Structure 1
Amino acid sequence: MTKNKIKDVAYKQLAEKGYERATLSSIAKEVGIKTPSIYAFYKSKEDLFMAVYKDLLQDNHRHIKSSIDNLTNGTVKEKLYQILEAICHYHLSQPEKTAAYMKFTFFLPPTLNDEVKETFSEMEEVLGEMLESIFSEGIRQGVLKNQPIDDLIASFLCLMDGIFLELLYYQHQEDKFKRRVEQTWSIYWNGIYNDHEKAASSDEQSKKKL
């Protein structure tokens, strides 16, 4: 379908050239249509690239949700780690989409500033709902320290942002990137894990042995 082909070419050119150099004329040429034909589907360049950006975000979140859905019986720790693992796998296995997403993230066109932020916030809310369920479960089970859910969600989202930035630095050093993720995850989990529960469990085990 021409509309989807236009979007596919647009995100590829965004990844390769950046927003400013990815022109409607160059996109139309690669698709094999006249430039005015794009306006039958998108009212402007900004409209086209917002559609591309929304697709990138939705594709990323679908990948994360699918990974979590496959862990319905997993522990809280496994579910949280699976989110990070899903993100890393997605970006490492989709270099072109990741490059396009980075161009939007770090070289945001001023004309799209407000709309991009609003779209990102909407997608973040979807992820936040997923995290709220996992963190609430962890607190109920006593696995996590009893902290405000909003604080836990914010901390995890910041962890994700940090990992994404590491990917920018080490995208061509996959082993080093994965090692950084493991190191960061270990420190993060130890920070939210309810070690008092662990200590209480150990004490109970010791008493049983006496």
Structure 2
Amino acid sequence: MKKGEETKQNILEHGLRLFSLKGYEETSLKDIASKVNIKTPSIYAYFSSKDELFEKIVDFVIDDYVKFIDYQASTMGSLSIRDKLYNLLGELNEYYYMNDRGVFLKRYGVFPPERFKELISQKTVVLKMKLENYFILF
């Protein structure tokens, strides 16, 4: 990975972590830059604003969750309904509580910042459809 790509990825990862822990309003670009060990203005080489960074993180998290659901659906095979449900609940619990993507999704799926309510609502439609399709498999 090239240095610029690595820096962008670090900004996304630390932004995800800080937005998950502190919230959108309480996280500044300065906080993120500090974690990445760059100066705050350097973030603008990758993202035009805090809003754009947040939107990219929303896209990443939702894409990751869709992949997670697809993977879970593909691994259940011929398990009994009880075992499928047990496995799914265990995996969902781990996803939501043990990684930054799950914490982010849980936080902003329920309490999105006002300016992002419509965006997050539109994006979560895909998630709802995936989950509905997943439960049809039961």
- Name the TM tier (shorter chain): 0.7 to 0.9
Cross-structure match for 2:109: 105
8 Å CA contact 2:20–2:103 kept in 1: the answer is yes
Name the CA distance, whole Å, in 2 between partners of 1:61 and 1:85.
17
Cross-structure match for 1:64: 69
Q: Please tell me the root mean square deviation across aligned C-alpha atoms, in Å.
A: 2.2
Cross-structure match for 1:188: none
Unaligned runs of 5+ in 1: 136-210
Cross-structure match for 2:135: 131
Cross-structure match for 1:85: 90
8 Å CA contact 1:56–1:97 kept in 2: the answer is yes
Name the CA distance, whole Å, in 2 between partners of 1:108 and 1:130.
25
Shift of 1:25: 2.1
Name the CA distance, whole Å, in 2 between partners of 1:119 and 1:126.
12
State the secondary structure of the residue aligned to 1:123. Answer: helix
Match of 1:43 among 37, 42, 48: 48
Shift of 1:72: 1.3
- Residue 105 of structure 1 aligns to which amino acid in structure 2? G
Shift of 1:62: 2.6
Name the CA distance, whole Å, in 2 between partners of 1:31 and 1:10.
9
The structure that has the greater radius of gyration is 1
Percent identical across equivalent pairs?
26
State the secondary structure of the residue aligned to 1:36. Answer: helix
Q: Paired residues, what number?
A: 133
Cross-structure match for 2:119: 115
Q: Deviations over 1:121-173 (max 9, x none)?
A: 122222323333x15xxxxxxxxxxxxxxxxxxxxxxxxxxxxxxxxxxxxxx
- Higher relative contact order, chain-length normalized (CA < 8 Å, sep 6+): 2
Unaligned runs of 5+ in 2: 1-5
Matches within 5 A, 1:13-52: 13-52=18-57
Name the CA distance, whole Å, in 2 between partners of 1:12 and 1:111.
20
Shift of 1:13: 1.0
- Residue 82 of structure 1 aligns to which amino acid in structure 2? N
Normalising by structure 2, what TM-score? 0.79
Match of 1:11 among 16, 20, 24: 16
Name the CA distance, whole Å, in 2 between partners of 1:65 and 1:29.
35
CA distance change for structure 1 residues 93 and 99 in 2, over 3 Å: closer, same or farther?
Answer: closer
